[in-house]
Amino acid sequence: MSWGNPWLFGFLALIPLILLLHSLRFKRQEVRVTTLFLWERLLQERKATLGISRIVKSLTLLLQILVVSLLTIGLAQPFLSLPATREGDMVLIIDTSASMQAQGPQGTRFALAQAEAYRLIDQLHEKSRMAIIEAGQGPVLRTFFTRDKRRLREIVARMEAGDSIGNLRESVLLALSLLRGQRQDHIVVISDGTETDWQAELPAGVRITPLQVQAGEKNIGITRFAFRQGWGETPRYEMLVTIQNFTPVPVNVPLKVTINRRRLLQEEVSLQGGEVRTLVYPFTRELHGVVEARLLFQDDFPLDNVARTVLTRARSFWVLLISPGNYFLENLLAAHPY
């Protein structure tokens, strides 16, 4: 048995205080009398300093000690970890989206997810089977139902977090199609909790256990990177960069943009906690090649610190429009930069 808050056992120090309060004896007033036969019972009282017999007979004392003990045990949150004894098949869904690469003190979110998966495999009932689904950009069935724990662990060890968004909804629907509808069967989803819309579409009565892993909360990333070319005889471009601060504290982030590995611009961007800033930079020269925007900043999720795009040379071309006159087509062609 383990305890969630073992430090709360300090409340048991109240029990000696309760004993002390109940053991205090009232100071008796000395009175002169002519006879003692009325006080024989009084003289038979035990002379123990703490009055043990009176303490044992005190129902109020026992109730107070019991209340303090039960409150202390309840606040300490006892829990018991036992191997699984419930039969029934399990479908294990592991999130392999890009956000699972976030790095924390104990490793990446995906490494923590793998540790949870190993624990579930070890606790799997001897008569139960497990199937594993990888929830990346699309669901991938890594293995159908099996009782081979060694094979299950090898499959989890070979999995890696990718660079795409996840799709837990489709993965859960695939898991539902694998189950036989038995009451003992259930689904376990291990993810970082960034995708929650799939839970609203679950049918009634479905048993799904979400296990959330948390690591790496410090992140500043590029959420949008695009170029727009203007029209005219002189080449004109506009570069758009959107940067978001996912932390609650202000930061200064150096932004560097290169084209074909040559510096195009570099400046420092200031962001408040949770702020999203969209920056637009104009250029009046021909640009073609690989353009890269990079945040020169160390955080827990480096994947979104870099964004790239490819610019090709502009080509002029002619369009022959045979028409008695079409206002919409003429304006559409006139708006084209070439």
Query: What pLDDT sits at residue 50?
Result: 43
Phi/psi for 204 (5° steps) reads -65, 145
Closest CA to 221 of 289, 174, 275: 275
Q: Greater confidence, 292 or 7?
A: 292
Query: Within 13 A of 73's CA, how many CA atoms are on the CB side?
Result: 7
In tens, the pLDDT along 208-221 reads 888 888 877 788 88
Cβ 122 vs Cβ 136: under 8 Å: no
Q: What is the DSSP string of 249-306?
A: S-EEEEEEEEETTEEEEEEEEEE-TT-EEEEEEEE-S---EEEEEEE----S-GGGGE
Residue 288 is encoded by which pair of tokens? 């073609």
Rounded alpha-carbon distances, angstroms, from residue 58 to 15, 16, 50, 54, 65: 14, 15, 13, 6, 11
Cβ 117 vs Cβ 123: under 8 Å: no
Mean pLDDT of the chain: 78
In tens, the pLDDT along 120-168 reads 999 888 888 899 999 888 888 998 999 899 999 999 999 988 877 778 8
Cβ 109 vs Cβ 99: under 8 Å: yes
* Beta pairing, strands 90-95 & 130-135: parallel
